Amino acid sequence: MQFHFIANAAHEGASGRTIPVIDPSDGQPFDVIQRGNADDMALAVRSARHCYDTLWSKLSAAERGRLLMRLSARIADHIDELTDIEQRDCGKPTRQARADAVALARYFEFYAGACDKLHGQTIPYQDGYTVLTWHEPHGVTGHIIPWNYPMQIFGRSVAASLAAGNVCVVKPSEDACLSLLRVAQLAGECGFPAGAINIVTGYGHEVGEALARDAGIDHISFTGSPRVGTLIQQAAAERHCPVTLELGGKSPQIVFDDADIEAVLPAVVNAIVQNAGQTCSAGSRLLVQQGLYEPLLERLGALFANLRVGPAAMDLDVGPLIRASQQQRVWDFLSDAQVAGIPMVAQGQIVDSAPDSGFYQAPALLRDVPAAHRLAQEEVFGPVLAAMSFRDEDHAVALANATQFGLVSGIWTRDGARQLRMARRVRSGQVFINNYGAAGGVELPFGGVKSSGHGREKGFEALYGFTTLKTVAIRHGH
Ligand code: NAD
């Protein structure tokens, strides 16, 4: 049985109700979490406020940095344990779960070093004045986290927020919160004061909504679907609470005729099968220039056919999807594609030993997908790649920008001038040239435009979002 983590202690929820934890690899329950409600959230917010007022806001930036560094080291000492937890809870193949745990340690390391480097400015003004600016913490920040990368998203938003001087109340996804409950314990063990990091588990429409509406939350960082992002922003607007929204994507990989095909192939496969395609920045649309379209699809089809899907512990190319409803969602997309006559180039293989009760989906490569079809417009959130061809740069830009999303773009060409022209013309928060994702890049600011959200997390830039700027004008005469 798992409990909320509030003020460095395990708390049973006020409702006395629980939610089963399901292993996606076999569809079986193996634990329970608390089904939190507004009372639990209020308790966590009070504990956070008390910590902020009495202790956290009085620490120097250097002291905060040392605490974050200690937690980074403690996470690094528990990589194996966190990997095992995440593998079972999220169905992540071992290497992917481990990469998330390593990234979590790295986020705390990066932001530990950033704590005492968040400088304000002095501003030249009229004679007789000195004007300066300070980056002040919001106070208590709320973090609503999805199930696809719990540790990475916790790392990027909670570490940055603590570094900026805030304390945190976290609402993880009801589908994946075990690793975060353990990380919060590790923080308490290594000296974080009671109330600095609080975790309240439960359903989004119950405890998530309570967080969004709680007047004690001074800033909300939401990562999740555009639909829920809208609800969060509406709730926050009622009390003018600032919000960072990290939402979905339908990101294009744009491959020109002159691209290095040997570099393109593994990157295109990885960008759609990593975490079984359940990645906000998945490269889910493949736009290929006409001359390379047939040869690229032929080689890519052979790679897709060889992909193996199975239980997380087998550490194959692809693990299960998170839950049965996600599997059904992917099936619906594929059956719509079949009805529309969209050709399937190739599909991977689910291994025979995968339990029937697990949520498996073979990766699928589809071609000639019409730009207006939902497969080219909507986030599938599964290992399904939609390929289409383009004529020239203008056509590529038109296709790339023709969705509601704008999170990430990949551009593959050896032509340097074209790299820069394309990077300017595609509308997305990140652009990768001759690579996709730059291996994660804790240092690299991340976030979207259009329905992919607003605000930036990761990198030093995140600290600005977790602070508010105060301008101080001092009149001292001559
Ligand atoms: P979701 O929107 O269903 O849930 C996200 C979180 O919001 C969960 O903790 C959930 O419990 C909570 N929630 C649900 N309803 C709520 C409500 N009414 N009020 C408050 N909270 C509520 O998303 P998901 O299915 O968990 O995650 C997948 C989505 O997240 C995809 O769209 C994906 O692209 C997006 N995502 C974006 C990024 C990014 O950085 N841009 C990263 C990861 C995932």
Reduced to 3 states (helix: H, G, I; strand: E, B; else coil), residue 414 is coil
- Residue 382 makes CB contacts below 8 A (sequence gap 6+) with 276, 277, 278, 321, 326, 327, 329, 330, 333, 361
Q: Is the pLDDT score of 478 beyond 90?
A: no
Q: Report the residue among 107, 225, 380, 451 best suited for mutation to probe ligand 1: largest number of ligand atoms under 8 A from its CB.
A: 225
Q: Which of 30-34, 283-287, 294-298, 474-478 has the lowest mean pLDDT?
A: 474-478
* Catalytic positions: 246, 280
Q: Whose CA is nearest to atom 6 of ligand 1?
A: 146
- d(CA 383, CA 424) in angstroms, rounded, equals 29
Q: Is the pLDDT score of 278 beyond 90?
A: yes
251, 23, 20, 85 alpha-carbon torsion, rounded to 10°: -90
Confidence of residue 267 (pLDDT cuts 50, 70, 90): very high
Determine if ligand 1 sits within 6 Å of the CB of residue 146. yes
Question: Residue 198's pLDDT is what?
Answer: 99
- d(CA 213, CA 142) in angstroms, rounded, equals 11
Distance 368 CA to ligand 1 centre (A): 30
Q: How many helices (H) and strands (E) does the chain have?
A: 16, 22
In which residue are the tokens 């600005």 written?
464
Q: Whose CA is nearest to atom 30 of ligand 1?
A: 224
> pLDDT for 137-189, tens place per residue?
999 999 999 999 999 999 999 999 999 999 999 999 999 999 999 999 999 99
Question: Residue 150's pLDDT is what?
Answer: 98
Tally of residues, the chain: 478
> pLDDT for 25-84, tens place per residue?
999 999 999 999 999 999 999 999 999 999 999 999 999 999 999 999 999 999 999 999
Residue 396 contacts residue 422 (beta carbons within 8 Å): yes
Domain edges within the chain: 4-247+454-472, 252-441
CB atoms within 10 A of CB 338: 12
CATH superfamily to which 4-247+454-472 belongs: Aldehyde Dehydrogenase; Chain A, domain 1 (3.40.605.10)
Question: Residue 308's pLDDT is what?
Answer: 98
DSSP per position, 83-127: HHHHHHHH---HHHHHHHHHHHHHHHHHHHHHGGG----EE--ST
- d(CA 349, CA 327) in angstroms, rounded, equals 16
Distance 149 CA to ligand 1 centre (A): 11
> pLDDT for 203-224, tens place per residue?
999 999 999 999 999 999 999 9
Closest CA to 400 of 317, 285, 308: 285
Rounded alpha-carbon distances, angstroms, from residue 25 to 43, 289, 311, 420: 35, 38, 5, 43
- d(CA 298, CA 261) in angstroms, rounded, equals 12
Rounded alpha-carbon distances, angstroms, from residue 216 to 49, 219, 241: 8, 9, 10
Determine if ligand 1 sits within 6 Å of the CB of residue 150. no
Closest CA to 22 of 326, 275, 285: 326
The mean of the pLDDT values for the chain is 98
> pLDDT for 346-390, tens place per residue?
999 999 999 999 999 999 999 999 999 999 999 999 999 999 999
CATH superfamily to which 252-441 belongs: Aldehyde Dehydrogenase; Chain A, domain 2 (3.40.309.10)
Distance 228 CA to ligand 1 centre (A): 7
The stretch 274-301 carries a mean pLDDT of: 98
Determine if ligand 1 sits within 6 Å of the CB of residue 204. yes
The stretch 432-456 carries a mean pLDDT of: 97
- The pTM of the full predicted model, rounded to 2 decimals, is 0.98
First-last CA distance in the chain: 68
Question: Residue 14's pLDDT is what?
Answer: 97
Ligand 1 atom nearest to CA at 202: 11
Distance 383 CA to ligand 1 centre (A): 18
The stretch 415-435 carries a mean pLDDT of: 98
Instruction: Report phi then psi at 468, rounded to 5.
Output: -125, 145
- d(CA 82, CA 106) in angstroms, rounded, equals 14
Q: Which residue type does 3 have?
A: F
Question: Residue 222's pLDDT is what?
Answer: 98
> pLDDT for 85-105, tens place per residue?
999 999 999 999 999 999 999
